[in-house]
Structure formats: C-alpha cells, structure tokens
Amino acid sequence: MLTDRRATRTSRAELFRALGVFAEQPGPAHPRLAGLLDLPVPSVSDWTEGFVVQLVPYASIYLGTDGMLGGEPADRVAGFWRALRLPVPSDPDHLTALLGLYASLLDSEASELEPARRLLWRQARTALLHEHLLSWLLPYAHGMADAGPEPYAHWAGLLAEALRAETAEVGVPDRIPAALRELPELPAGDEAGLDAVVSALLAPARSGILLTRTHLAVAARQRRLGVRLGDRRQTVRALLEQDAPAALAELAAQARTWAGRHHADAAVTGPIAGHWAARAQATSGLLIGRASAAGPLTHDQERNPR
C-alpha cells in the first residue's frame, strides 16, 4: 500500500480513506469516523445487512458477465495495481481496497514536486477513477441507498457525492471503461431459456439493474407475491413461477427506474451512465416483451425434460 507516513496527505484523500474504512466491519474507529462524516454509527448487523446480504462490495460482481466474484474483471483490476508497481492485495477489486488506493494516488500526486511525475500520478488517479470506480460505484451507491441500513445508505450518498466532486476536478470520462465494452446483451427471443434470462438480470453491467434482496422483496410486495428464501436466483424464479406476467412487469418497472437514475448520472460519468442506462432500458423492454407474451414462462428443465 502507498501509505508513506511522511507523504503529503490531502483532505480529499483522507475522505476516501475514511469512506473505505467505514465500509469495513465496524471496529473501534467507526464511532469517531461516523461523527466526522456526519453518519449514524453502524452496528455489526448493519454492516452484515449492507455488505453481506444486500450488496457484496467487489467490482467484479457488478462488472462481470455472470455477476460473480473474480474472473476477468478482478484480473483487470489486479493488472491496474501491477501497472502501478504495487503489490496486488488479496482482494484487489474490493471496494475499500480501491478507495484506499485512490486515496494513496491522491496523496502521491500532492506529494510530488516534479511536474512531469505529478502529471503521471494524476493520470494514474484519473484512470482508476474512470476505469475502476465510476464504472460501477454510482449504481452501487444507488443500490445501497435503496437497500442498505441507514448508516450505509447515508454512507453511499456521501460516497457518490465524493465521486462527483472528483469528477468535477479531473473531468468526465470521455470513453466507456474497458470492463463495460463488449459485454453480451441480455438474451432475447423465445429461444432464450429462463435460467439464461435470470442470470443476465443478476449481472448488473449486462442488465443495467441491481436486484438486491430488498429490490426483489419490494417487487413481490407490489404484486402481492410470496418471497422465497434462498439465493436471489431462486427468489426470481419463484416470483416468475407464481405469476410471470406480473413479476416481469414489476421488474421491468424497476429497470425503467434504474434507467432514469443512470440518465441522471450522465453529467458525472458520461458514457458510463449511457451504458448503464441503455442496458436498463433494454432490460425493461425485454421484460415487458416477455410479460406480454402468451402464457407463463417455464423452466428450462420443463422445456427439456430429462
């Protein structure tokens, strides 16, 4: 880690460092940090609800093809650490590791006296912000604001505000990050099986939406459907089994809402917001199409009985 105690520390860097530490499991630092950040003091159960149950804080989950931990998105982030000649931590794409790295780059830039080197630090910092933070963190913050316990919902708002402030300083991304390029579209057409659709829905960068347990519970409540306990895949399936048109219509409505939120981020994240919004819009359209199709959807297994 770049934590030279003698380096110049900037206030912004300390803010990102504090936001990162605040997202770790609550410990002795949290009451003091909560006071400084104007946030409620979180409990361990708050943290578990926010970062274990609702929104696991790894970039790869939000940027990957399958919405899973690790894989190519994590390797890409690890490559960024290597490019900076830094040891790659065991969780290179973990939110707090990335915030700590960003804080370190801010400090390195501020500490550097030589203009050319300072420019290099700034470029590194900008690349991290554009490629690995803004690519997923504003949607993540929106999701946490919806689904997280109060301390972390407020924390997410502060994080989003801090990211906006940074973008105001270094500029809006002028291109779409590598992680968001060439992501497969959602499967379309009747030939697409239910499993493939559900998987794609739960891969945020593909679908443009973050379906937390809270979002699914809200969908169920809106349509008076039961919520099956289990992983989210099972929960979505259960909703569709109960009343596919209703469930699809509700998820389509959520996707429209997400599209609107992403659009609103365009001033901050430019083409990134465009990607997320387009995907959410497409998801909404796909789900509406499915909902209006005749008859309920069936499981893949039912189409192809073994």
Binding-site residue total for other proteins (CB under 8 A)?
45
Q: Which amino acid is present at 110?
A: A
Taking Cα atoms as reference points, which of 205, 19, 8, 35 lies closest to residue 102?
19
Nearest residue (CB) to other proteins, 162 versus 238 = 162
94 near other proteins, judged by CB under 8 A: yes
Q: Are 97 and 89 in contact (CB under 8 A)?
A: yes
Nearest residue (CB) to other proteins, 83 versus 196 = 83
The burial of 32, by beta-carbon neighbours within 10 Å (0-12 exposed, 13-18 middle, 19 or more buried), is given as: exposed
Give the interface segment with other proteins, choosing from 3-11, 43-51, 175-183, 191-199 (CB under 8 A).
3-11
134 near other proteins, judged by CB under 8 A: no
Q: Look-up: residue for tokens 């578990």?
A: 48
Q: Are 125 and 102 in contact (CB under 8 A)?
A: yes
**Cβ at position 22, least distance to other proteins in Å:** 10
The burial of 53, by beta-carbon neighbours within 10 Å (0-12 exposed, 13-18 middle, 19 or more buried), is given as: middle
Q: Pick from 53, 110, 158, 278 the residue near other proteins by CB under 8 A.
A: 158
Cα distances (Å, whole numbers) of residue 124 to 70, 220, 262:
23, 44, 26
- Pattern of binders to other proteins over 37-56, x per CB under 8 A? xx------------------
Nearest residue (CB) to other proteins, 97 versus 246 = 97
36 near other proteins, judged by CB under 8 A: yes
Q: Are 69 and 62 in contact (CB under 8 A)?
A: no
245 near other proteins, judged by CB under 8 A: no
Q: Pick from 161, 185, 231, 300 the residue near other proteins by CB under 8 A.
A: 161
Give the interface segment with other proteins, choosing from 11-19, 64-72, 138-146, 275-283 (CB under 8 A).
11-19
Taking Cα atoms as reference points, which of 179, 11, 172, 8 lies closest to residue 80?
179
> Across the strands, what pairs with 94?
58
Q: Pick from 53, 68, 69, 86 the residue near other proteins by CB under 8 A.
A: 86
Q: List residues near other proteins by CB under 8 A.
A: 1, 3-6, 9-15, 17-18, 20-21, 24-25, 27-29, 32-33, 36-38, 81-82, 84-89, 91, 94, 96-97, 99-100, 103, 158, 161-162, 165
